[in-house]
Amino acid sequence: MYVPEQARAAIDAFFTQTNLTALREMAMQTAAAQVDNDLAQGYRQLGQSAPAVRGRMLVGIDGDTHAERLVRHASRVAQRRHLPWSAVHVDDGQTLDEQSRARLQSAQQLAERLGGEAVSLRAGEVARTLVQHAIERRASVVLVGQSRRHWRRRVFGGGVAARLLREGHGLEISVLDDSEELPDQPPRARPAREVVWFDYGLAFVATLLASLVAWGVSGVLALPNISLIFLAAVLLVAVRSSMGPALACAGLSFLAYDFLFIPPSFSLNIQREEDVLTLLFFLLMSALTGKLAARQRRQLQALRDTQEQTSELLDLSRKMTAATDRKAVLNAAEQHFSGWKELYLCLVDRDGQGGLVVETGGPLTFSEAERAAAEWAWQHDQPAGSGTGTLPSGRWWWWPITAEEGPLALLGVSAREGQSFTAQHRRLLAALTQPLAQALARAQLAQELEAARLHGETEQLRSALLASVSHDLRTPLTSMRGSIDSLLALGEAIPLEDRRELLEGTRDEAERLDRYIQNLLDMTRLGHGALKLARDWVSPADIVGSALNRLRAVLAPLQVSTQVTGELPLLYVHAALIEQALVNVLENAARFSPVDGRLQVAAGVLDSELFFSVSDEGPGIPEDERAKIFDMFYTAARSDRGGQGTGLGLAICQGMIGAHGGRLTVEEGIDGQGTRITLFLPLQAQPDVEMEESA
């Protein structure tokens, strides 16, 4: 609702023709998407394929030099129309050289970076496959390229575009003229071509051998059957090499068959008309046989490459699944790539100071060229280095391993001595970086979650410590201050016995405060790894006696009994720490014991360990809570004599005993009531007492 003045301002400022047109287009796109979803759901319920309402865009690409231009154009059109889009490559069995394969892979990766989907299909006829895929994906727009320069090739242009226009009924077919010149492409590493000349030599040798065999059996076989020997030679060459040598073998076999066996012999002249048809039929069958066999060989090689890539991906994914942190991911990657005998591989990361550091693999020494290429690849999220158009002077090829948040690492690849780094290696490594990137991202996320968890626990412990300090320091200080104030205010008016009681209470509170501060200091040393063990030989009876003497005031309301003999073996421990651990256990037992309750202290030997046990008649600890009592700041609410502790004593006890290689157990106490906490310490070889005394 607008008042008149606001309405005029809105008409002038907001309700313009441009804004209204944009709003109308957005509304139509939203409505089309909703109708498209509803229509698709209805047709799925009927088991039928639904026509496209909102639509989808397909762009056909291959290994042509204009593939990336097609992808970029399709991305712009799809963004303007708000359509999802896919870059589709149809493998019809035609041979792609290494440069074409590299360009195709680069175009597919570009499509994924621009928000599209990369799809690869295998079929015999490109146009029909594109139309069928468009119908299956309910696409409404198909974009292909047409090049006048490459009309001889069976690429996405020319004939494919014309067949799409004939067969793509109901589809919007867009043909992009890509005949304009592109800047020179950087040279790419290609394998040596000696194999090609070997293949043509094989064609000549196969024809020669077929001629000799045919000449040897010409007296036995009829003339039409002799041609099968030459067909076998063509088939052999096609299976062993490629289409070019197979066609060359077919031509040579045609000439040899005519020269040696078609009358008149040793002449290329043909006298009978039926021999002309025989030779032409033989030439046609030879060419078809060679072509089909060569295509089958290419398809078999493609299947082998796909199987190798799938096997590598499966193996790496299996190893990455078990890796939980970045170090484990790097170890798994190094273990996997160590099986590559042709290449050196390494993973590079930032060193925290803006530089680059090798995390695993190598050997690699950063020269200026290598460092510049690696920095460029990291900053621009694009391959760089050897075999690329960016800083190709170095020996290493750099591939960024990225996630949504940015680069996670760099994969560096270099050929070993006498080996080559082929485009097939590039394709396989580019595929392997996907599970590697996912594993690194997962490890980084796990590290961030662990850091967040530790931060939360630290804040929780900080709050608990502050609350504990504010309470447990204030209580003894308040009691001590009250006693001192009473003594100062009343002085001689207080009876001697009462003054003595006030002073003893002040001393007890001071000792309690001292123990609490000592616990805090011990906990700090344990947490920072600063606890040093000053081991020496000590008697277990001395440790028990000293601990009981320190807690004589705390244990006074209880019936304390000890079972410690002087014949126990000596302990090689830090006596003060073991005594403090026993003091913490005794104080905890006293806190939860009833007045006049029994408290038993025992020491003995069990197997190769010496133990101290403290049993009380308190409320006991349920089994599901026994593992928690050694956690920091964990306190129970079942104290019989009031006054809960700080929750640090038993945690410190576990740390001190653990530092000596010992352990603690929690069981039921006296006569099945209360709690028994046992401290186990490993025994060492006993010293020679007589030698020590004589010394």
CATH of the domain at 585: 3.30.565.10
- What does the pLDDT look like over 257-275, one tens digit per residue? 778 887 777 777 776 766 6
Alpha carbon distance 43, 39 (integer Å): 6
- Looking at the structure, tell me whether residues 136 and 217 fall in a common domain: no
Half-sphere exposure of 152 (CA within 13 A, CB side): 1
pLDDT for res 605: 92
Per DSSP, what are the bridge partners of residue 175?
Answer: 144
Q: Show the tokens assigned to 564.
A: 């410690």
pLDDT for res 523: 57
Q: What is the CATH number of the domain that holds 407?
A: 3.30.450.40
Confirm whether 156 is domain-assigned.
Answer: yes
The stretches in the chain having pLDDT less than 50 are: 148-158, 181-194, 637-643, 691-695
pLDDT for res 192: 41
Q: Which of 341, 434, 656 is nearest to 525 (CA)?
A: 656
Q: Show the tokens assigned to 228.
A: 């099968």
Name the strand (E) or helix (H) holding 645.
none
- Looking at the structure, tell me whether residues 83 and 112 fall in a common domain: yes
pLDDT for res 315: 77
Work out the burial of residue 478: count CB atoms within 10 Å of its CB; fewer than 13 is exposed, 13-18 middle, 19 or more buried.
exposed
pLDDT for res 540: 92
- Looking at the structure, tell me whether residues 443 and 369 fall in a common domain: yes
Q: Which of 568, 168, 491, 205 is nearest to 213 (CA)?
A: 205
pLDDT for res 151: 44
pLDDT for res 226: 81
Cα–Cα–Cα angle for 341, 345, 347, rounded to 5 degrees: 155
Of 176, 210, 237, the residue at which a domain comes to its end is 176
Confirm whether 207 is domain-assigned.
Answer: yes
The conformation of residue 271, written as its DSSP 8-state character, comes to: -
Q: Which of 379, 443, 439, 447 is nearest to 407 (CA)?
A: 379
Alpha carbon distance 123, 89 (integer Å): 10
- Looking at the structure, tell me whether residues 89 and 149 fall in a common domain: yes
Name the strand (E) or helix (H) holding 91.
strand 85-91
Q: Which of 311, 213, 302, 298 is nearest to 257 (CA)?
A: 213
Query: Is the model's pTM score more than 0.85?
Result: no
Confirm whether 397 is domain-assigned.
Answer: yes
363 cis-preceded (ω within 30 degrees of 0):
yes
pLDDT for res 194: 44
Confirm whether 548 is domain-assigned.
Answer: yes
- Looking at the structure, tell me whether residues 445 and 546 fall in a common domain: no
Confirm whether 615 is domain-assigned.
Answer: yes
Of 146, 176, 206, the residue at which a domain comes to its end is 176
- Looking at the structure, tell me whether residues 510 and 536 fall in a common domain: no
Q: Strands 85-91, 571-573: parallel, antiparallel or unpaired by DSSP?
A: unpaired
- Domain count for the chain: 5
- Looking at the structure, tell me whether residues 496 and 434 fall in a common domain: no
Confirm whether 32 is domain-assigned.
Answer: no
Confirm whether 693 is domain-assigned.
Answer: no
Full residue range of the structural domain in which residue 498 is found: 476-524
Alpha carbon distance 461, 632 (integer Å): 8
Of 252, 279, 297, the residue at which a domain comes to its end is 297
- Looking at the structure, tell me whether residues 389 and 433 fall in a common domain: yes
pLDDT for res 445: 86
Strand order through the sheet with 141-146? 117-122, 85-91, 57-60, 141-146, 172-177
- Looking at the structure, tell me whether residues 518 and 428 fall in a common domain: no
- Looking at the structure, tell me whether residues 549 and 520 fall in a common domain: no
DSSP state letters, 512-551: HHHHHHHHHHHHHHHHTT------EEE-HHHHHHHHHHHT
Per DSSP, what are the bridge partners of residue 174?
Answer: 143
Work out the burial of residue 366: count CB atoms within 10 Å of its CB; fewer than 13 is exposed, 13-18 middle, 19 or more buried.
middle
Contact criterion met (CB below 8 Å) for 535 and 571: no
Confirm whether 347 is domain-assigned.
Answer: yes
Q: Which residues contact residue 609 at a Cβ distance below 8 angstroms, ignoring those fewer than 6 apart? A: 662, 680, 681, 682, 683
Q: Cβ atoms within 10 A of the Cβ of 659, count?
A: 16
Q: Show the tokens assigned to 96.
A: 């792609």
The conformation of residue 16, written as its DSSP 8-state character, comes to: -
- Looking at the structure, tell me whether residues 117 and 142 fall in a common domain: yes
Q: What is the CATH number of the domain that holds 120?
A: 3.40.50.620
Beta strands in 321-439 (DSSP E): 343-350, 356-361, 384-385, 397-403, 406-415
- Looking at the structure, tell me whether residues 151 and 207 fall in a common domain: no
